[in-house]
């Protein structure tokens, strides 16, 4: 049997996936290939920057490199969303002092800002705030308290001053801004995402499940195979469990977007909220990405700080599916070194016992057969000695996703013929995605061919057990109904 050119695995298998943002740094000759070889599982195309042709070119290169390296690499398109910003200053920058009066005037000319007032690109801001509200500018570096609203003018007092330059973002502490999650630019970028063939699409600033449902409707049939990622960065989205769970259930994955979220809810509430989001996402069988400033010092430094190491490691121990790099790989001086450092930290954290123990749904009942099989496979694998891997023959990637909700030190191998399913699984914690075409196989040889595939990859060897899940009818959604414990014999060694 001829196997696709996937190189055998000789190093420890990292379970936590790495999302890397593409940009000018990754465009440098040879950098993107080195990043993917270093362990990037998902590339992020940030639609806040660049033209559609830039994203198309980058994704084309990613797919070519991934094919050549024998890797399944997913693509995440990230919509800009309603980023609310001040306008511009005549001199480019002003210095605000504590206690001074400052006006945000939504009717002011966009280029006419000065030390006393500035315009705003979000014209409804004057309707969304009242006296007593607190506004945070430039990711919370400057703080303004609203004194009164008069027509288009929002009169404030500077609580925390500093230097303020053009186009900095505005957040309202506690949330409450009414800007829609999908702007006109987002709707155009959504069409681009469908056209270039991303695997996931991130929706910025959703307030409720309705925003995610709108995005799904706009994707329509043409974008049916694109997984939606909810970026949790508004206070309203995490204010209560019902709203959070609704957003999670309306998405295929969620992102803990700690920049704007931290500004809106306060840094002191952020760590508990991060842990709550990860726990809720996993309990609803959704993937979760932890993002923002994970290794930001590596934009200019070849080594991370100890605080960044602990930040990444704690997200891993919380069982996040993926950790994300932003400017570190899009615009930094050391993109490849950053990926390598993040991979090392993930592997180190995953060696801890807590990262391999799970009580996930241990006292719950199940309603789906494929879900029951997946979780039974993980329970068996974690309690039977000599198991090398859990292999899931899958049409959509759903069974490996369910299995990956249980912590384990063992690899979960998703064997799929559909390339979309292969790439989608690249985001799931602990899942190795491999191409596996069953169309020319008889039912009797499926198990042997699967074992051969795992041996060829260096995942299993003679003497090991492999737990295999599959359905009676291959390539049928939701058809997994069989669990087998197979022994890898000498006949499955491939030279």
Helix (H, G, I), strand (E, B) or coil at 428: coil
Q: Residues 172, 231, 423, 449: which is the catalytic one? A: 231
Look-up of token digits 């379970």: 15
Taking a C-beta distance cutoff of 8 angstroms, is the pair 200, 74 a contact?
Answer: yes
286 is catalytic: no
Taking a C-beta distance cutoff of 8 angstroms, is the pair 448, 454 a contact?
Answer: no
In sequence order, which residues have a C-beta less than 8 Å from that of residue 195 and are 6 or more positions away?
52, 56
85 is catalytic: yes
From CA 173, how far away is CA 190, in angstroms rounded? 29
DSSP 3-state percent helix, strand, coil across the chain (nearest 5): 40, 25, 40
361 is catalytic: no
**Quick one: DSSP state of residue 212?**
H
Closest Cα partner for 259 from 277, 282, 232? 232
- Residue 108 phi/psi, 5-degree rounding, is -70, 145
In sequence order, which residues have a C-beta less than 8 Å from that of residue 227 and are 6 or more positions away?
199, 200, 201, 251, 252, 253, 424
Q: Residues 15, 44, 58, 470: which is the catalytic one? A: 44
Q: What is the CA radius of gyration of the chain?
A: 24
From CA 397, how far away is CA 395, in angstroms rounded? 6
Q: In sequence order, what DSSP letters do the residues of 36-77 get, joined into one string?
A: HHHT--EEEEETTSS-HHHHHHHHHHHHHHHHHHT---EEEE
From CA 253, how far away is CA 250, in angstroms rounded? 9
Question: 227: which strand partners?
Answer: 200
- Kindly report the number of other CB atoms within 10 A of residue 229's CB atom: 28
Q: Residues 85, 185, 275, 276: which is the catalytic one? A: 85
Closest Cα partner for 200 from 211, 208, 209, 212? 212
Query: What's the token pair of residue 109?
Result: 């000319």
From CA 279, how far away is CA 274, in angstroms rounded? 9
From CA 358, how far away is CA 360, in angstroms rounded? 5
Query: What's the token pair of residue 315?
Result: 């997200």
Q: Is 216 exposed, middle or buried (0-12, 13-18, 19+ CB in 10 A)?
A: middle
407 is catalytic: no
Look-up of token digits 């491999």: 434
H or E segment to which residue 328 belongs: helix 327-330
From CA 373, how far away is CA 274, in angstroms rounded? 30
Q: Residues 156, 290, 292, 320: which is the catalytic one? A: 292
Taking a C-beta distance cutoff of 8 angstroms, is the pair 70, 4 a contact?
Answer: yes
- Catalytic annotation, residues: 44, 85, 231, 292
């Amino acid at each position: 049997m001829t196997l696709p050119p996937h190189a055998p695995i000789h190093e420890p298998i990292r379970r936590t996936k790495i999302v890397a943002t593409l940009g000018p740094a990754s465009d440098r000759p040879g950098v993107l290939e080195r990043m993917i070889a270093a362990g990037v599982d998902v590339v992020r195309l940030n639609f806040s920057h660049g033209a559609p042709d830039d994203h198309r070119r980058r994704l084309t290169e990613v797919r070519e490199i991934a094919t050549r390296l024998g890797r399944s690499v997913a693509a995440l398109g990230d919509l800009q969303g309603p980023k609310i910003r001040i306008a511009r200053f005549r001199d480019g920058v002003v210095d605000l002092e504590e206690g001074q009066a400052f006006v945000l005037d939504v009717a002011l000319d966009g280029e006419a800002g000065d030390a006393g007032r500035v315009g705003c690109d979000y014209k409804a801001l004057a309707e969304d705030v009242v006296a007593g509200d607190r506004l945070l500018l430039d990711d919370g570096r400057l703080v303004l308290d609203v004194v009164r609203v008069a027509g288009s003018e929002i009169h404030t007092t500077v609580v925390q001053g500093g230097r303020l330059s053009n186009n900095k973002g505005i957040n309202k502490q506690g949330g409450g801004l009414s800007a829609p999650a999908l702007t006109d630019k987002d709707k155009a970028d959504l069409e681009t995402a469908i056209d270039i063939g991303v695997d996931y699409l991130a929706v910025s600033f959703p307030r409720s499940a309705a925003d995610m449902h709108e995005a799904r409707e706009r994707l329509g049939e043409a974008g049916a195979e694109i997984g939606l990622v909810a970026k949790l960065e508004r206070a309203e989205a995490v204010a209560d469990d019902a709203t959070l769970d609704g957003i999670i259930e309306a998405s295929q994955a969620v992102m803990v977007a700690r920049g704007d979220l931290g500004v809106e809810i306060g840094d002191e509430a952020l760590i508990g909220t991060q842990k709550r989001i990860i726990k809720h996402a996993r309990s609803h069988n959704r993937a979760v990405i932890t993002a923002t400033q994970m290794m930001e010092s590596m934009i200019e430094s070849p080594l991370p700080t100890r605080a960044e190491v602990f930040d990444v490691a704690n997200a891993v121990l919380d069982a996040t599916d993926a950790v994300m790099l932003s400017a570190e790989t899009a615009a930094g001086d050391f993109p490849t070194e950053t990926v390598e450092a993040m991979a090392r930290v993930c592997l180190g954290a995953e060696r801890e016992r807590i990262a391999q123990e799970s009580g996930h749904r241990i006292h719950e009942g199940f309603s789906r057969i494929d879900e029951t099989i997946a979780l039974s496979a993980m329970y068996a694998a974690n309690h039977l000695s000599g198991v090398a891997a859990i292999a899931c023959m899958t049409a959509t990637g759903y069974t490996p996703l369910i299995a990956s909700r249980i912590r384990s030190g063992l690899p979960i191998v998703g064997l799929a013929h559909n390339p979309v399913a292969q790439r989608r699984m690249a985001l799931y914690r602990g899942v190795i995605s491999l191409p596996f075409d069953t169309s020319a196989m008889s039912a009797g040889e499926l198990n042997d061919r699967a074992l051969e595939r795992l041996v060829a990859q260096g995942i299993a060897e003679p003497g090991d057990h492999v737990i295999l899940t599959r359905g009676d009818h291959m390539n049928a959604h939701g058809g997994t109904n069989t669990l087998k414990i197979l022994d890898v014999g000498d006949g499955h060694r491939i030279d």
